[in-house]
Amino acid sequence: MERYIEELFPPDPDLRRVLEGIRERGMPEISVPTGYGRLLTLLVAMSGARQVLEIGALGGYSGICLARGLGPQGRLTSLELLPEYAELAAAQLEAAGFGGRTEYRVGDAGRSLEALKAEGRRFGFFFIDADKGGYPRYLDAAIELAEPGAVIVADNTLLRGRVADPARTGPSVLAMREFNRRLAEDPRLAGTLLPAYDGLAVMRVIG
């Protein structure tokens, strides 16, 4: 079924260029899948967000999908640990026509999030796709930085089924279980988990 979805839509030159750049540089080929990339564009557009924060840039695939949903005054801020990844992502966003509306902050995401908080920044949309052990911390930061009604989306929330296996107790699995539990139980959030691909969390900050 996932292959069917991937092949349903016509080739996208910008996104294909991103995937080729990732492969040429030997980077992990773990960009958000086609179906969820298109969903990101739709969700950003429907949210009306003017400020989007991405945690984990990789090669720019999700950044392009997010930027496509923004209006003409919208801006994407992306956090990336590795300089070479941020450099590629920035170049790909520039090539796709979004260079003047994107900002990259390189280094530890936790420190970057603290800096954004100190600056008084607020965002209407968040996309989390970084180190899985950091997801609960990133969720806390997103709630603190959220505008009223902000949307938070996170990829890989099923960890290829490992979150549902009681025998799996690694740090990333435990962190993701905590993240998913928070999605379900935190009174400030309303959301759900989409089970296709490797799982996508979609939630809204309500209080």
* Confidence at residue 27, expressed as pLDDT on a 0 to 100 scale: 95
pTM of the predicted protein model: 0.95
CB neighbours (10 Å) of residue 111? Answer: 11
Q: Are 183 and 170 in contact (CB under 8 A)?
A: no
1 band by pLDDT with thresholds 50, 70 and 90: confident
User: In which band, very low, low, confident or very high, does the pLDDT at 4 lie, cut at 50, 70 and 90?
Assistant: confident
pLDDT digit string, tens, across residues 114-172? 999 999 999 999 999 999 999 999 999 999 999 999 999 999 999 999 999 999 999 99
Q: What pLDDT does residue 142 have?
A: 98
* Domain extent listing, the chain: 2-205
Mean pLDDT of 44-61: 97
CATH 3.40.50.150: does it fit domain 2-205?
A: yes
Q: Is 191 helix (H, G, I), strand (E, B) or coil?
A: strand
pLDDT for position 9: 87
